[in-house]
Structure 1
């Protein structure tokens, strides 16, 4: 049995079950689901499940952040969903035709480029090492240099062949036809020479290109499927690729390829304009916002353009601009690990620091930085300083060499190697993150609230970190117990926060504090309030009453309303709920840490 068998089962169940999953893929730290209905996902359970860092939703995907073990979890989830995991394509479990054209196009690009990234990293490291060889005096005509250079360049030389295989596989045609198609486009004898036709000449080069084979196979795939469906079984094995090739290959080489190359040139020119004409704006803003983009899981869209440039053999300013941001996270987590007094926080910081050093910042982001606004601000400032260093030295990534320290090799300019910019883009964000955290972060404002729960129906007292006492009125009359005695296992586990459970003797819920209504669930069974001192509380009426779709609940407030302690929030029909077999316990939970 897989180590991740139970975790995978819990994930599937709490994203709404197998029938709610349209597709699944993964990136370096997270599972990325497309769900039919995201409201079916149980955020609270997943966020507090051991083995899961957090969940979030962005760019049409529901993401379950796992960390470095995500490939293994992905394989187990895919297995339980009835399909063996494939690293080079999303595991699709439903028809995706309902998704937008843009979403489908982006997923196709990412799925086809994704399998090349590890190989690109390996080849890039070798290319970086060849630069170091020249720096230490190894001549470029020496055997060791020439072999290393060949190993580093091979991926780019044969790129259309590899990508042709990936694209064809994703489009559900024979991947070896994609291999053949890419090989035909890059046949040496027809690269960069005049090909004479009756009415015109064409001169094109497709070695180290991506878009020509990509767009060419988008045209070839429907032809393949058309012929494969209609030709007799006895001859379609060879006739389908023959007919597809003699139509799609010339069309791509003569027409589609030049257009695709022009698009690639336009992308490169646009990127160059941003980073050459407005360097401080482009570099610094991107550095400032990079960790926020990572936090929401949309950084991959921008990274796609950077990888495209590298695959085309062009250096990427975008990767250089964001290269300092992870080192800012290292500085922040290092400061926390050294100076934090809270044992839980200190324990969290150690593995997060180790992960950040190798370039995986999500554990630190979600576990330490995002819940603390000042640390999130510091991470942005540190990333911006990294962008500033990149702007001052006009840094670029010349190849992709992975993450963490290995990523630095890719930023060494092979024509003019300089070590100072590489050192500064690490040291400046790291030191800034460390010092700003040491000076600005006050742990006394961040300790968890210790809840002294009085077993009375008249009120509950909460003691904050500064020993200031806030009196919280009971939201409903009845018998008050610790929330750990709730019949709901999620609330009882205190995964959502500490609080009380009340067995109600009435059917009117009152505001327990004065403040602003943050949330009114559409069904009316749950209301969140932000108090005047920043405390956040959730009132949840009944267990599984969300299934009633609002029946028997009558909310009296709207989101954004200002309420006073004792004001009526919602009426509910206690008798009707109990007659239907629903547990009517009312949970009152402090959902976040209170600061004073």
Structure 2
């Protein structure tokens, strides 16, 4: 038997100081829980011991609560939680940094084990599981896990909030499981259609998000430095960097093809080539007569045409591989896809997909067209709520597609303001509180929010003090309304936090757009800070008791 202590796994032998006191308490507890042999794992935390039991039915909980050194004992789903005297309790997600492999193993265990997982992906801050049976996940215990910022179920996904370490933890989970790529297994639950389609659409975009952000930042910075006269657009370095930054957007259909092929476990080279074929300059923006009709389509920097064409190619590939002889299907399958599926995509699927994209954009912009300031206020005010509920992709994806297609998006501009409102609220609490413990939490959370990762601040600082969630919404709404007055928008995929600002730079008016965007971010931060500083009182939420 082993116990996990901080960042390492040790045998269950006596330790110095704290560990010795914990062992003494355990020795007193064992007789009431079926003995030491009934404990499969012991996990110490600051002020807490978690005991994973083989048989929870033998526990005498009343007797455990009477053991000296135990403040309280709770038993839930085979896990006994002991709160200890004289120890500072940890705040979920903000405790000492844990070893990634250890955290990954514990998360996997608490979501029901590998056998309960259909697939696993991740976004910027969350592990996104598709589970066979959500009821098998131990959600409340997972929320208390050191290193986990929160848990939510939305859009057919079981989302575990990790924060900036999400890539590391994702890699560690993949090392000990079979699902580095999504599984073909089907869920045991009958999920509604919308809960299946949203994760699929997100999987087509999310893996490329960081690269597009990086390219967008380069485009924004180049627009600014040329407007300031620091560089000419004819300069070799400008031509080179501009070409590099444009590449991911120009060849976006190929990236979409790659992501879908991974998601559907299809041949990646075929899918990427289908995407590349839609980008060839000789068939984009030129008249092509086919079957008595003249087509003039452009698919570079588009999303939905490649999305649906590659899906069609995947199903065609499965059909052909099933029916063609093994001797020829290795080359004949991709050849038939190229000569049949790609032309269908160019002539039929692509135009229909572009019409769909235009329709989605029209619906999303209805409120903006009615009153653009009201639209900015509503999106800025409610986006944080959507993030907390885990359904923000409903508004993010359509706005993201607009930007990818080269259309400036006011909706996407409003989404970027929220993190600065969270920053302001966190700084207000940091400056006002006299609680040493709360200051220690708020400082790293504020730094994280500055760089666009708001989960530590949201779930460790703001959410436990609900009125300040309202403050973040109000601050963001007001700042977005002011931005709407000046017509602020996102012109290219931005980064996160302070690195969002280059995405707000209008190539036609870079200096003014930079001033407006920076002013809106500062306003959101200032409002969050001032309102919080005036309202906050340690005694309201027991922060005066350390």
Provide the residue aligned with 1:535 in structure 2. Answer: none
- Asked if the contact 1:8/1:76 (under 8 Å) is kept, the reply is yes
Counterparts of residues 134-213 of structure 1 (less than 5 Å): 134-137=226-229, 138-213=231-306
Provide the residue aligned with 2:517 in structure 1. Answer: 422
1:266 aligns with 2:359: yes
Structure 1 distance, partners of 2:110, 2:319, is 40
1:22 aligns with 2:113: no
Task: State the structure with more CA Rg.
Answer: 1
CA-CA distance at 1:414 after TM superposition: 0.8
Structure 1 distance, partners of 2:398, 2:269, is 27
- Asked if the contact 1:54/1:64 (under 8 Å) is kept, the reply is yes
Which residues of structure 2 form unaligned runs of 5+? 1-7, 9-97
CA-CA distance at 1:96 after TM superposition: 4.8
CA 93–370 in structure 1, closer or farther in 2 if over 3 Å, else same: farther
- For residue 159 of structure 2, give the secondary structure of its aligned residue in structure 1: strand
Provide the residue aligned with 1:512 in structure 2. Answer: none
1:337 aligns with 2:464: no
Provide the residue aligned with 2:24 in structure 1. Answer: none
- Asked if the contact 2:132/2:186 (under 8 Å) is kept, the reply is no
- For residue 128 of structure 2, give the secondary structure of its aligned residue in structure 1: strand
Counterparts of residues 303-314 of structure 1 (less than 5 Å): 303-314=396-407
Structure 1 distance, partners of 2:256, 2:160, is 28
Deviations 1:279-315 (A, max 9, x none): 1221001111111111122212321112211221111
CA-CA distance at 1:22 after TM superposition: 2.4
- Asked if the contact 2:155/2:199 (under 8 Å) is kept, the reply is no
- For residue 364 of structure 1, give the secondary structure of its aligned residue in structure 2: helix
1:440 aligns with 2:532: no
Higher helix share: 2
The structure, 1 or 2, with the larger RCO (C-alpha pairs under 8 Å, 6+ apart) is 2
- Asked if the contact 1:14/1:41 (under 8 Å) is kept, the reply is yes
1:73 aligns with 2:166: no
**Could you tell which deviates more after superposition, 435-444 or 2-11?**
2-11
Q: RMSD across aligned C-alpha pairs, in angstroms?
A: 2.1
Provide the residue aligned with 1:130 in structure 2. Answer: 222
**Could you tell which deviates more after superposition, 191-200 or 365-374?**
191-200
Provide the residue aligned with 1:53 in structure 2. Answer: 149
- For residue 67 of structure 1, give the secondary structure of its aligned residue in structure 2: coil
- Asked if the contact 1:224/1:241 (under 8 Å) is kept, the reply is yes
Structure 1 distance, partners of 2:533, 2:204, is 44
- Asked if the contact 2:112/2:138 (under 8 Å) is kept, the reply is yes
Provide the residue aligned with 1:396 in structure 2. Answer: 489
1:315 aligns with 2:408: yes
Structure 2 distance, partners of 1:41, 1:449, is 35
Provide the residue aligned with 1:504 in structure 2. Answer: none
- Asked if the contact 1:53/1:363 (under 8 Å) is kept, the reply is yes
Structure 1 distance, partners of 2:239, 2:544, is 63
- Asked if the contact 1:113/1:163 (under 8 Å) is kept, the reply is yes
- For residue 299 of structure 2, give the secondary structure of its aligned residue in structure 1: coil
- Asked if the contact 1:322/1:383 (under 8 Å) is kept, the reply is no
Provide the residue aligned with 2:473 in structure 1. Answer: 380
- Asked if the contact 1:128/1:410 (under 8 Å) is kept, the reply is yes
- Asked if the contact 1:329/1:364 (under 8 Å) is kept, the reply is yes
CA-CA distance at 1:271 after TM superposition: 3.4
CA-CA distance at 1:57 after TM superposition: 2.2
Deviations 1:222-247 (A, max 9, x none): 11111112222221100111122222
- Asked if the contact 2:133/2:187 (under 8 Å) is kept, the reply is no
- Asked if the contact 1:22/1:35 (under 8 Å) is kept, the reply is yes
**Could you tell which deviates more after superposition, 137-146 or 346-355?**
137-146
- Asked if the contact 1:133/1:145 (under 8 Å) is kept, the reply is no
Counterparts of residues 152-551 of structure 1 (less than 5 Å): 152-417=245-510, 418=512, 419-447=514-542
1:42 aligns with 2:134: no
CA-CA distance at 1:258 after TM superposition: 1.0
- Asked if the contact 1:21/1:94 (under 8 Å) is kept, the reply is no
Deviations 1:305-340 (A, max 9, x none): 122112211112112112221111111111222221
CA-CA distance at 1:367 after TM superposition: 0.3
CA 26–262 in structure 1, closer or farther in 2 if over 3 Å, else same: same
2:204 corresponds to which of 112, 117, 123: 112
Provide the residue aligned with 2:183 in structure 1. Answer: 92
- For residue 81 of structure 1, give the secondary structure of its aligned residue in structure 2: coil
CA-CA distance at 1:412 after TM superposition: 1.0
CA-CA distance at 1:12 after TM superposition: 1.6
- Asked if the contact 2:309/2:345 (under 8 Å) is kept, the reply is yes
- For residue 57 of structure 1, give the secondary structure of its aligned residue in structure 2: strand
- Asked if the contact 1:195/1:203 (under 8 Å) is kept, the reply is yes
CA-CA distance at 1:25 after TM superposition: 1.7
Structure 2 distance, partners of 1:390, 1:384, is 10
